Structure 1
């Protein structure tokens, strides 16, 4: 995808460009939520090893593979994959898988439309809460993402334990 951009409305100017790579983490979240949605209830209830452990392992493996691919496509993309998977797991706990994926898209658009500001020099920057727009080297964004993922992983495992 390189530097391909799609136009997105902005509050600081008419239309701004957003890299297409910014939206690619949604593809991974869609696949993960699709796989978590497909359940065989009876075999899972009688399994020797709880399936929720396999689910948690698959989620961690997804994040690890995203970070391995991040070496090629950019670590900000890997961070956003982790962030959107965590957000999807939290929303999934309250609603369902389809709503979880939609929440990720809304979160990204919300960051793009409302999360950008103009600096005094006239350059576009991000607001403090728009974590998905932070540069790849931001320790704050990585810390927020890691804590959110750990929390979401813990809560998603608790959901299945009931």
Structure 2
């Protein structure tokens, strides 16, 4: 199974991707890019806010690589291998939170979980694009003004929550558990079933 994970699924790709995310986050620091907002004007978004998309792409790349016949006849179901690899990826992402920020690490787990759920009904490309769409939608439509005039986030814009938000962590962990339970059942959407 380990040989299958490394040669077919290519889970080794995730390790350099996580290293690249750490490097990007450290390199860009607090640099911001202007983003239009529906509440008015332009707001700034840190560049490292978009770094978790790299991990989503890497995980979807690995999930897309498969050999259907050997997977059906494998002694150990490949879904167990996938679940373990996703759990290890998330653990390493959270471990790197000390370097990249726990909000970025949480968003990485959130976006991977969302991508796994979307992959269940669509394909890997759509799943990866959904993560980017959530990030952009959160920036553009997920901000609001408090009565005092300061900006805050709306309830649904989880990527904008602070690193210490218990609500965002609980939602992310619930989504992650659901994604592990639901998403690794078979190889995603493959059209009509043949008997």
- Which SS does the other structure have where 1:6 is aligned? strand
Q: Output the TM-score relative to the length of structure 2.
A: 0.79
Q: In the alignment, what sits opposite 1:91? A: 118
Note the alpha carbon deviations across 1:92-150, whole angstroms, 9 max, x for none.
00100000011111111111111101123322111111111100001110000000110
In 2, the alpha carbon distance for the partners of 1:106 and 1:8 equals: 14
- Which SS does the other structure have where 1:121 is aligned? coil
Q: In the alignment, what sits opposite 2:13? A: none
Q: In the alignment, what sits opposite 1:113? A: 140
Q: Output the TM-score relative to the length of structure 1.
A: 0.95
- RMSD over aligned Cα, in angstroms? 1.5
Structure 2 regions of 5+ residues with no counterpart?
1-27
Of 77, 94, 107, 1:80 maps to 107
Q: In the alignment, what sits opposite 1:49? A: 76
Runs (4+) of structure 1 exceeding 6 A deviation are none
Q: In the alignment, what sits opposite 2:89? A: 62
Across the two proteins, how many residue pairs are aligned to each other? 162
Matched, 1:140 2:167: yes
In 1, the alpha carbon distance for the partners of 2:184 and 2:114 equals: 15
In 2, the alpha carbon distance for the partners of 1:127 and 1:45 equals: 44
Matched, 1:25 2:52: yes
Matched, 1:35 2:62: yes
Structure 1 regions of 5+ residues with no counterpart?
none
Of the structure 1 ranges 120-129 and 15-24, higher mean CA displacement relative to structure 2 is found in 120-129
Matched, 1:156 2:183: yes
In 2, the alpha carbon distance for the partners of 1:159 and 1:16 equals: 41
